[in-house]
Amino acid sequence: MIRVLLFSIVLFINAAGVRTYAQCCASGNPFISDAEQPALQSKVLTASLTYRYSHSEQFYHNDSPYNDLNFSETANVNYTELQLAYGITNWLTVMGDLGYFFNKTLHTEGQDPMRGYGLGDAALYLKFNLYSNAKARFTISPSVGMKFPIGVFDQEVDNVKLPITVQPSSGSFKYLANVFISKGIAKKMALAGFVSYEYAQLIESENFYYKYGQQWIGAIYFNYRIIKNLSLDLQIRNEYRAKATRENSEIVESSGYNVTYITPQLTYAFKHNWYLSCFGDIPVYKYYNGIQMSFGYALSLRLTKKIDFITIQARKQASNSSN
Amino acid sequence: MNRTIIFVLISTVIVFACSKEKNEKTTGDIQIQSLTATLLKVKAWDTTLLTMEATGSNLQYGWEANHGSITGSGKTVKYAAGECCVGLNTITCRVFNETGEASDTIMIRVNSHYIPK
């Protein structure tokens, strides 16, 4: 019965986004490249708070820096994201996240900076534990999800609307499907892979029409436990976004990209299931269609708390019985 | 417990899947005379000056571009758009005061900055 209801929800999520009305569009929440996790066990809750700083500066034309512009422009973003995940059953985890931009600022030489801030997009995922073999340390966790443009998308300064590049929300409903596969390869090592697909819905209003290109993300993670409480993740990730479409089905030639990142990450496990991670996104290959400002780097800090309600309950029962 | 979570999920989807289209109305003592640009065709990242001429008391001006960015405020502003916004773009100027609101649009053609070598 529960499976039927959940299947209905997935169908409903897809049917709900027939058409969106909005005023314009932006790129929305950044992809937080923290090592992905498999579906949780039943009655396990994880809550995490991530802070991310990113900086962009150099314009690119295809795979080369483009320096023929007679001005300079930089962009920086201070962003935070709250993520909650709960294992409803051993085979199903519900996960949600919500982004907030402290600032999304574009500095153009000779002009006042443009700064957007506020709530970004929210996301809801259903993550399934399709296959799990504890002995072989092998898991396959596919998930489906949806992003909701609940945040600020029409921010103004002195009655002038900010450009879409600094609006906190993407303005578009997005649908996601991904799969995470993890395999332990030695006592202290594990390998994992992650593939994600994102489809953005058309944004249409009286004088605005825009559709982001679809996005593919593929990542390989290498995890190594250095000491008991400290682990190192090394991630190689490729992000591909197709070109966007605007009014009259025109292709936006200077949109879409193919960027490969290396993301080193350190995670320390504290007492009582607290975890602190720091990681950075460093692009090692960049290809931008047309001319676009390219991604520079990002630094992130994540604090996670894990609560296992079954263990807590078992401890309480053990404590009561011993009394 | 499971039913409660499923109910919350469905409710969330319903709430956020619904949105409304914004309608603009023209009322009050405002009369728009013209909305002009110094250049109707520009190269990416070049600027054009936009000016709204309107009559009415205590007028305020609001600006919005579907693609590109506007700097400044008031009756005259600067418009520019990068390569991301090549095409025919619409800029809307809204004039408003305590008696109402009127608006007009102007189209600016943005051409590519890049000339292949």
Give the integer Cα–Cα distance in Å for A180 and B48: 49
Provide the β-strand partners of residue A129: none
Q: With a cut of 90, say whether residue A261 has pLDDT above it.
A: yes
A84-109 pLDDT, tens digit per residue, is 999 999 999 999 999 999 999 999 98
Average pLDDT over residues A229-251: 95
Residues of B in contact with A292 (CB under 8 A): 83-84
Q: Which fold has domain B27-111?
A: Immunoglobulin-like (2.60.40)
Residue B29, chain A, CB below 8 Å: the answer is no
Q: What 3-state class would DSSP assign to A311?
A: helix
Could you give the 3-state DSSP secondary structure of residue A252?
strand
Residue A240 in this model has a pLDDT that exceeds 50: yes
Residue A181, min C-alpha distance to chain B (Å)? 26
Alpha-carbon span A211 to A25, nearest angstrom: 9
Question: How buried is B85 (Cβ within 10 angstroms: 0-12 exposed, 13-18 middle, 19+ buried)?
Answer: buried
CB B79 within 8 A of CB B109: no
Q: Structural domain boundaries of chain B?
A: 27-111
On the question of pLDDT at B38 being above 90, the answer is: yes
Q: Decide if A10 is inside a domain.
A: no
Distance CA A295, CA A278 (A): 19
Residues from chain B that touch A162, judged by Cβ atoms under 8 A, are 69
Query: Between β-strands B41-43 and B100-111, what pairing exists: parallel, antiparallel or unpaired?
Result: parallel
Whether the CB-CB separation of A126 and A94 falls below 8 Å is answered with yes
Rg of chain B taking only CA atoms, in angstroms? 20
User: Is residue A3, in this structure, part of any structural domain at all?
Assistant: no
Q: Which of A157, A159, A81, A152 is nearest to A117 (CA)?
A: A152
Cα separation, B112 vs A279, whole angstroms:
37
For residue A244, the chain B residue with the least C-alpha distance is B84
Q: Which two tokens stand for residue A314?
A: 């078992």
Chain B closest CA to A87's CA: distance in Å? 11
Write the CATH number for A56. 2.40.128.130
DSSP bridge pairs for A313: none
As for the ipTM of the complex, it is 0.79
Q: Do B87 and A5 touch (CB under 8 A)?
A: no
Give A-chain residues touching B114 at CB under 8 angstroms: 61, 290-291
Report residue B20's pLDDT band, with 50, 70 and 90 as the boundaries: very low
Phi/psi of residue A311, nearest 5 degrees = -65, -40
Residue A45 falls inside a structural domain? yes
Task: Give B 47-76 residues with CB within 8 A of chain A.
Answer: 60-73
Supply the range of the domain harboring residue A122. 20-322
Nearest alpha-carbon partner for B110 in A122, A250, A165, A50: A250
On chain A, the residues whose CB falls within 8 A of the CB of B70 are: 160-161, 163
Asked if B43 is an interface residue toward chain A (Cβ–Cβ < 8 A), one would say no
Across-strand partners of A288?
A62, A257
Residues in chain A within 8 Å Cβ distance of B69: 114, 162-163, 165
**pLDDT, tens digit, for every residue of A128-145?**
999 999 999 999 999 999
CA distances from A40 to A10, A44, A95, A185, B12 (A): 19, 6, 10, 21, 22
Q: Which residue of B has its CA nearest to A252?
A: B84
Q: What is the pTM of this model?
A: 0.85
Q: Which residues of A touch B20 (CB under 8 A)?
A: 21
What are the pLDDT digits (tens) for A19-48? Answer: 333 333 346 788 886 656 788 999 999 999
Given this model, what pLDDT does residue B24 score? 44
Number of structural domains found in chain A: 1
CB contact under 8 A, B114 and A112: no
Is residue A2 domain-resident? no
What DSSP string describes A162-192?
PPGGG-SS--S-EEEEEEEEEEEEETTEEEE
DSSP state of A258: E
* Mean pLDDT, residues A259-268: 96
Three-state secondary-structure class, residue B17 = helix
Written as six digits, the tokens of B12 are 């969330």
